[in-house]
Copies of this chain bind each other. A is one copy, B any other.
Amino acid sequence: MSFRGRFTNKIDSKGRVSVPAKFRAVTIAQGLNGVILFPPLNPGSFVEGCGPAFSDVIDQMLDRLDPFAPERQALSAVLIGESAELSFDSDGRVILPETLRNLAGITDEATFVGMGQRFQIWEPKAYDAYYAKALEDAQKYRDMLRAPAAQGGGGQ
């Protein structure tokens, strides 16, 4: 079960957004009645989100670095220090922390984009702009997709 699809929801006067029902199903299946958000490592104005499964992966990746290495400290400061675990209210909504909202330039609408083990939250127009470029890039990157040898999946 993974995050898939794109959904744009409104932010009401109290700052609440509905997390798409299909995304809620994923994190709940992972044992969390909520989501985990953190800032992006890629350049760009958006928020990263996930459930406990990918959050654990991040922890493991960080644990592979030396405990006192400066790289580890920097990555931890971003990925853990600025992260937030938000609980769903009884209708499946969350309130985005101000820091993360500002980071992504989100005001009254938020676009949720599924990316497999995790998802992203964008200001809708910013995502449109990003996607136009991503589509071109994806066609260029097509050859980076190599089918596993085991299965003879026909690439395009």
Contact = CB atoms under 8 A, between A and B. Distances in A.
A104 interface: no
A33 interface: no
A83 B5 contact: yes
A107 to B, nearest CB: 21
Interface string A87-110: 000000000010100000000000
A60 interface: yes
A156 B115 contact: no
Contacts of A135: 74, 77-78
Interface in A116-156: 116-117, 130-131, 133-135, 137-139, 141-142, 144-149, 151-156
B134 A74 contact: yes
Contact of A73 (B3, B134, B148): B134
Contact of A139 (B4, B41, B68): B41
Given A4-B83, A81-B5, A142-B41, A71 B137 contact: yes
Contact of A80 (B4, B99, B153): B4
Given A57-B151, A61-B146, A153-B117, A77 B131 contact: yes
A79 to B, nearest CB: 7
A14 interface: no
Given A43-B139, A84-B4, A75 B145 contact: yes
B75 A116 contact: no
A62 B152 contact: no
A13 interface: no
